[in-house]
Structure 1
Amino acid sequence: MSTQTAPDEDRTLEAVRRRGVETTGIEIIEESERTARPRDLFWPWFAANVSVFGISYAAFVLGFGISFAQAAIVSVVGVIISFALCGVIAIAGKRGSAPTMILSRAAFGVTGQKVPGVVSWLVSIGWETFLAIMAVLATSTIFDRLGWGGGAGTKVVAAIVVAALIVAASVAGYHIIMRMQSVLTWITAAITILYVAMTVDHIDTAALADLPSGSAGATIGALVMVMTGFGLGWINIAADWSRYQSRDASGAAIAGWNTLGGALAPALLVCYGLAIAGSDEAVREGIGGDPIGTLATLLPTWVLVPFLLAAILSLVSGAVLGIYSSGLTLLSLGVRIPRPMAALIDGIILTLGTFYVVFVAQDFLGPFQSFLITLGVPLAAWAGVMIADIALRRRDYDEGALFDTSGRYGAWDWVSIGTMALASTLGWGLVVNTFTDAASWNNWQGFLLEPLGLGTWNAADGYWEGNWAYANLGVLLALSLSFAVTYLARRGTVARQEERA
């Protein structure tokens, strides 16, 4: 869908493009601009995920009370599967040359797509703000250790600098981000390798062997957390980076490069983090309050500056992808502003959120993880619907109909909306809020556990009892149920959509 502009406006847009700023919003990418190759997808996904935060994530995995071997298996499997699902969504970008939430209109209807669109926007805003917060806290901790002062002044400056970097890159858009990510990949990867070399002597194989094995429920719970924290956290933006792919590009290649780029670094880093966190109880406990800063305590002083650089760049890299896509999602909801302005608005929200958490909130990791699992359920339900819809289609999308409520995709697809609502409701009944004090607003979750005999609420001590209570089965249920229902119930609908002239 191309936009007609006046001659003066054309000249203005061309001047902006010459400066490298992407002016394309949610409209269809012109054929002449679809020059990307599948292997180009490796760089943004790898750069966004080759983060030392991946090392710290291991402490959360071990928090489920599982052994080193169990943790390593679920981490590798969870990372690969979750990014493979992103790869499937990325195929839609090549088929329709539009952002993920626009392409999702084929499954939910042009207007109905706003329902999952709101969820997607909230998830993206939450993730990018979280990454910015991590960068600010890491800066404060490391500056304090260096004796440069890590107090309020340092945090203010760090918050401004981090937010400025994220917003500037996301406002610039796709082309600059792709070039930036290819450079950041080498910088962050090199310093991450240096971190590994400097901390490998902290690994205690005897301590790792002593970690007790966990139950099947605990193991699945760790698997779900890894899937939600990695690939499923990106799945709602996967097609945003493949919409510039050539129409002749292989769908399998797009999915493969997307999966490799996203999964390679986290799979290795989380496993290394398991070895570090499993060897030192103090590291496991410290990561809960300041993941990056805790990892820095293992380093000699002279390495702290390059480590801080790598940490900030890797976190900024991930946040840039999130804020760029959250801006596109905002436009897909009907907000009529230029794409750079949408990214700027989300950047302002990110900045305010970062300042609030760093300077006001007493605890943020607890509420954030509760927020993540809460939105992870409907996001998984949306993903199931979208993946099934992609699997059912044999043709490229009718790009004009994605913007026309009277077109072949219609205004509302009540089957998809109903499926997402049902799968989300059942899913929420099978997840629990592990931060009942810090995020009491989520204590209503888990309402199906006792009726199904999967857990019992201990009101006196404030926690759930039972091997399956903390398995977060609701995420897997939402994903699989929505996929199965969509694949069976919408076969005829998709076939009619593709046959319609």
Structure 2
Amino acid sequence: MSISPAAPEGARTAPLVETTGIEIIAESERTARPRDLFWPWFAANVSVFGMSYGSYLLGFGISFWQATIVAVIGIVLSFALCGLVAIAGKRGSAPTMVLSRAAFGVHGQKVPGIISWLTSIGWETSLAISAVLATATVFEILGIGAGSAVTVIAALAIAALIVGASVLGYHTIMKLQSILTWATGAMTIVFMILTIPHIDLAAVMSAPSGPPQAMIGALVMVMTGFGLGWINISADWSRYQKRSASDGSIILWNTIGGAAAPVVLVIFGLLLAGSDPALNTAIESDPIGALITILPLWALVPFWIVAVLTLVSGAVLGIYSSGLTLISLGIRIPRPAAAAVDGVILTAGTIWVAFFAQNFIGPFQSFLITLGVPIAAWAGILIADVLSRRADYDEQALFDPKGRYGSIDWISVGTMVVASVIGWGLVVNSFAEDAPWNNWQGYLLEPLGLGTFVEDPAGAYWDGNWAYANIGVLFALVFGFAVTWFARRSRIRAQERTA
């Protein structure tokens, strides 16, 4: 049984429920313009959750100005990389993980596909958890309720919102995101105005500067937390673009939509976290709830509603795309059903973390770095593949293992495996106590003289400035790009000559 490579021409316009799965979008439905990409990316990243990254950055022991430089460079660069991947969506009119078959082969693509699915599931679950924790905090402050019942009800209600929008699909999501952009953007500005009195510039500026290696570690965290966290779904939102759309415009609107809000939010978060050590500590266990507590009582409910909607907005993008990825792995179910399946996983994961996890940020950052290595390797490979191609994709061959893209491209698969193995050896689990399952990383640091593992009765740790720089992520990205750029160019030219 094979999946149809093309959607029927003349399909109904903007249906209530999008039934199109991983097949090629019909020409009649490709009506989107580059500037339309602003709405989903802005709405998904205008969340106040971005302010919590101010606390995370300062945790690397760097100053306000160092953290600001890191935030601007990391956020803009990572979303520009998303824009490069989004070009593939315009050229091939298919989801990201289907277009990636051109680089990895029709069956070889399942290797990065599984990693992508896990990444999307993890991201959407973390956003849902933040929304649930924020809800529990607000209800407790208002005296409405507290405890397990509130947590369960909040988890089910938030999961229902996320899954409902994801099941409806692309057209509904695009409309909702354009509305949420204005509402959430306005309320975020109100939050910033109300919390300006909490800023203590003298305290913020008193933080000492850290070494360059700490800035690199912070840069990696920002890139994986923002653009690289979305890069595996970038083409999902550009596949409805007209073929005549400019590549440069697609990159521009992806970058502006994704980076505009986070740059402002993270810098403001740096000001808040640097002003209040207690707030800085509270963000570790409940990022949104901690920020909400510094608001006046009258602003809690409206801000809570908007904060939850922004988190839901980001999770919707994740669930929608994880459903497409699930289908691309060979699961033969309709797209709405795939989104529903991932929704069940999200709900279960959210309830488990809300009840049993003692710390939120530790496992979250550990998760980001671990999956960030193979995702960075895949991104480097796909970006090099996209930039090397001079023609649109062979749409039929994306679904045929006997076509020009083949079944498995061993160069790409091997490059991703090697980049990941080396990359994992160059990152460490900074949260060994909260995420002990990740303590296997960093095995190349001591052999390369980049760090020393110290067994201490008070708690084991890594010694050395490079140990916590997590350069494995950057290595995987650059290595994947460089190998593909030089080793696969002749193969790409041969594929295009057989058109």
TM-score class, shorter: over 0.9
Question: What is the DSSP-based 3-state SS (H/G/I as helix, E as strand, rest coil) of the residue aligned with 2:380?
Answer: helix
2:68 is the counterpart of 1:72: yes
Identical-pair percentage: 67
1:370-409 to 2 correspondence within 5 Å? 370-409=366-405
2:224 is the counterpart of 1:228: yes
Question: What is the DSSP-based 3-state SS (H/G/I as helix, E as strand, rest coil) of the residue aligned with 2:478?
Answer: helix
Question: Partner of 2:476 in structure 1?
Answer: 478
Per-residue Cα deviation, 1:436-474 (whole angstroms, up to 9, x for no partner): 122222111111111111111111241001111100000
Q: Is the 8 A contact 1:139 1:150 kept in 2?
A: no
Q: Is the 8 A contact 1:454 1:468 kept in 2?
A: yes
- Worse-superposed segment, 285-294 or 363-372: 363-372
Question: What is the DSSP-based 3-state SS (H/G/I as helix, E as strand, rest coil) of the residue aligned with 1:464?
Answer: strand
Q: Is the 8 A contact 2:284 2:359 kept in 1?
A: no
Q: Is the 8 A contact 1:171 1:340 kept in 2?
A: yes
Deviation at 1:4, TM superposition (A): 7.2
Rate the CA distance shift 1:222–1:401 in 2: closer, same or farther, 3 A.
Answer: same
2:318 is the counterpart of 1:322: yes
Question: What is the DSSP-based 3-state SS (H/G/I as helix, E as strand, rest coil) of the residue aligned with 2:244?
Answer: coil
Q: 1:125 aligns with which of 97, 121, 134?
A: 121
- Following the alignment from structure 1 to structure 2, what is the Cα–Cα distance between the partners of residues 449 and 48? 36
- Following the alignment from structure 2 to structure 1, what is the Cα–Cα distance between the partners of residues 408 and 181? 41
C-alpha RMSD of the superposition: 1.3
Question: What is the DSSP-based 3-state SS (H/G/I as helix, E as strand, rest coil) of the residue aligned with 2:453?
Answer: strand
Deviation at 1:425, TM superposition (A): 0.6
Q: 1:200 aligns with which of 188, 196, 202?
A: 196
Question: Partner of 1:30 in structure 2?
Answer: 26
- Following the alignment from structure 1 to structure 2, what is the Cα–Cα distance between the partners of residues 480 and 198? 42
1:343-358 to 2 correspondence within 5 Å? 343-358=339-354
Q: 1:162 aligns with which of 149, 158, 167?
A: 158
- Following the alignment from structure 2 to structure 1, what is the Cα–Cα distance between the partners of residues 126 and 65? 29
Q: 1:450 aligns with which of 446, 450, 454?
A: 446
Question: Partner of 1:115 in structure 2?
Answer: 111
Counterpart amino acid of residue 415 in structure 1: I
Q: Is the 8 A contact 2:374 2:419 kept in 1?
A: yes
- Worse-superposed segment, 304-313 or 321-330: 304-313
- Following the alignment from structure 2 to structure 1, what is the Cα–Cα distance between the partners of residues 405 and 14? 36
Question: Partner of 1:252 in structure 2?
Answer: 248
Per-residue Cα deviation, 1:354-397 (whole angstroms, up to 9, x for no partner): 11111233334322221221110000000000000001001000
Counterpart amino acid of residue 179 in structure 1: K
2:340 is the counterpart of 1:336: no
Question: Partner of 2:358 in structure 1?
Answer: 362
Deviation at 1:19, TM superposition (A): 5.4
Aligned length: 493
- Following the alignment from structure 2 to structure 1, what is the Cα–Cα distance between the partners of residues 360 and 140? 21
1:169-188 to 2 correspondence within 5 Å? 169-188=165-184
2:45 is the counterpart of 1:49: yes
Deviation at 1:296, TM superposition (A): 1.0
Deviation at 1:191, TM superposition (A): 0.7
Deviation at 1:3, TM superposition (A): 5.6
Q: Is the 8 A contact 2:7 2:26 kept in 1?
A: no
Q: Is the 8 A contact 1:384 1:481 kept in 2?
A: yes
Per-residue Cα deviation, 1:323-352 (whole angstroms, up to 9, x for no partner): 000000000000000000000000000001
Q: Is the 8 A contact 2:15 2:171 kept in 1?
A: no
- Worse-superposed segment, 432-441 or 390-399: 432-441
Deviation at 1:201, TM superposition (A): 1.2
Counterpart amino acid of residue 476 in structure 1: L
Structure 2's unaligned 5+ residue stretches are none
Per-residue Cα deviation, 1:17-54 (whole angstroms, up to 9, x for no partner): 77511010000000000000000000000000000000
- Following the alignment from structure 1 to structure 2, what is the Cα–Cα distance between the partners of residues 207 and 150? 34
- Following the alignment from structure 1 to structure 2, what is the Cα–Cα distance between the partners of residues 436 and 290? 19
- Following the alignment from structure 1 to structure 2, what is the Cα–Cα distance between the partners of residues 142 and 73? 33
Question: Partner of 1:211 in structure 2?
Answer: 207
Deviation at 1:90, TM superposition (A): 0.3
- TM (norm. structure 2) is 0.97
- Following the alignment from structure 1 to structure 2, what is the Cα–Cα distance between the partners of residues 438 and 279? 26
Q: Is the 8 A contact 2:378 2:416 kept in 1?
A: yes
Q: 2:262 aligns with which of 256, 263, 266?
A: 266
Q: Is the 8 A contact 2:284 2:360 kept in 1?
A: no
Question: What is the DSSP-based 3-state SS (H/G/I as helix, E as strand, rest coil) of the residue aligned with 1:221?
Answer: helix
2:489 is the counterpart of 1:491: yes
Question: Partner of 1:84 in structure 2?
Answer: 80
- TM (norm. structure 1) is 0.97
- Following the alignment from structure 2 to structure 1, what is the Cα–Cα distance between the partners of residues 256 and 64? 24
Question: Partner of 1:139 in structure 2?
Answer: 135
